[in-house]
Amino acid sequence: MQFKKTSFFVLITLLSFYACQQEAKEAATKVVPLQRVQVTDTRPEGLTKANWLRPPYKHWAIKNIDQLFPVGTIAKATTSDKLEKGSIDLTDLKIEQFDGKIYGFEEHLDSNRTDGFLVLHKGKIIYEKYFGTMTETTRHNWFSVSKSLTGITAAILAEEGKIDFQESITHYLPELKGSAWDGQAVQKAMDMTVNIKFDEVYLDPRSDAYKFSRVTRFVVNPKIKPEFDNVVDYFKSVPAGENNDELFHYVSLNTEVIGMIISKVTGQQPSEVMSEKVWSKIGTEQDGFIVRDPNGYEMVSAAINSTLRDAGRLGLIMLNDGQYNDQQVIPASVVKTIKKGGSVEKFAQSKRGKIFKNFHYTNQWWHTDKAAFFAKGLFGQWIYVDPITETVIVKFTTSDIPTSTEYDWMNNMNLMEAIVERLENVK
């Protein structure tokens, strides 16, 4: 009898666990009904480095991250050209959602927790709106959009002969011998095809992504001591995975390795190089910045911050083949490679590739099945560039769920495509 009772309780426990797992999966894919969070300009009481990415704290923190962490400045341009205004109406657009619902244009922006939205067509602002406490001077965290500026910076250094993308990563970083990057070409880190054992799961505090965040103190858990005192020691411990064919495997650590190489070959912090090579030359209005850990290490994969318009300026220079005011700031060959994209075959085997057919990835930029390419970040950050219609779309967001879920991808890809379709026949 005791055995039957025990078995019964074990069964109930397993069923409860399964139900919780199912609820977690559903939460990661369904559209959450709109519940607009009240956000103030003042730091929320109770905000810490342990909870800053959780609601309600994140709605303030993501726009004020320099008040939480030390940062490295990405110095702005000495002079800035104002962006001209255009007059194309987008407000009557209808956007299909992940769950089949149809939202109006601004209803979509609001329901998807947009903080700021900008559309540039042929260099002119045709739509710009800020939500909540965000303004045109607010600097917002890019999360993984950061990877794309890091990739551009490394590619410029490669054009200058300071980095060879076909050379081994450990040629530049011998301290990583024995790790997943030992013997791997720099290009593989740029394309996210390194054979690496790492799970980038943001809903699981036991995942490798959280382990890395604890090492950098980007997210502090007072109950769990960081396993390593610094980033390099942690990277030495990261093993190769089972991806022997080196298919597309999106891992933020690859971008961090690129940042280490940038510092190694220049003797400077990535923020300084980004300013020198790009940010100070494209008419930016405000300094950008990168979060630094307590050791001064800059997190180039997820912690660049800027205003909405300055992110738009980065999109514009990519649209314009690296030129700004008739000056070749980014080598045309760097932009050409990104516009061309990477391997469709390798990307097709990934989680994203199974949903978004014929997409691809190269040099830290995503590429659609058409001419458009984009930078994409956690919580819903986008810089979307469409060369056909000469359009740049920037979206800063504080979404509900801390991951790149299907609903975020599909909802906002539908948004981008609806805008581009509207602009296809505009001269």
The answer to whether 145 and 383 have CB atoms below 8 angstroms apart is: yes
Positive/negative CA dihedral, 97, 99, 103, 109? negative
pLDDT at 374 exceeding the cut of 80? yes
**DSSP tag of 65:** G
Structure tokens at 117: 């939205």
At 222, the pLDDT band (50, 70, 90 cuts) reads: confident
Residue 84: Cβ-neighbour burial (10 angstroms; 0-12, 13-18, 19+): exposed
Cis peptide before 56 (omega within 30 of 0): yes
CATH superfamily of domain region 65-423: DD-peptidase/beta-lactamase superfamily (3.40.710.10)
- Looking at residue 203, its pLDDT comes to 65
| Least confident segment among 67-76, 256-265, 348-357 | 348-357
Quote the pLDDT of residue 38: 60
Residue 409 pLDDT: 87
The strand ranges marked E within 55-105 are 71-74, 94-96, 102-104
Share of the chain above pLDDT 70, in %: 88
> In DSSP terms, which residues pair with 404 in a beta bridge?
none
Phi, psi of 323 (to 5 degrees): -100, 140
Segment 80-117, tens digit of pLDDT: 989 999 999 999 999 998 889 999 999 999 988 899 99
Q: Which pLDDT score, from 0 to 100, does residue 210 have?
A: 80
CA distance 259 to 298: 8
Is there a contact between 361 and 347 (Cβ–Cβ < 8 Å)?
A: yes
Condensed to tens digits (0 to 9), the pLDDT of residues 323-364 reads: 999 999 999 999 999 999 999 999 998 888 988 999 999 999
- The 10s digit of each residue's pLDDT in 173-217 is 999 999 999 999 999 999 999 999 988 776 677 778 888 888 999
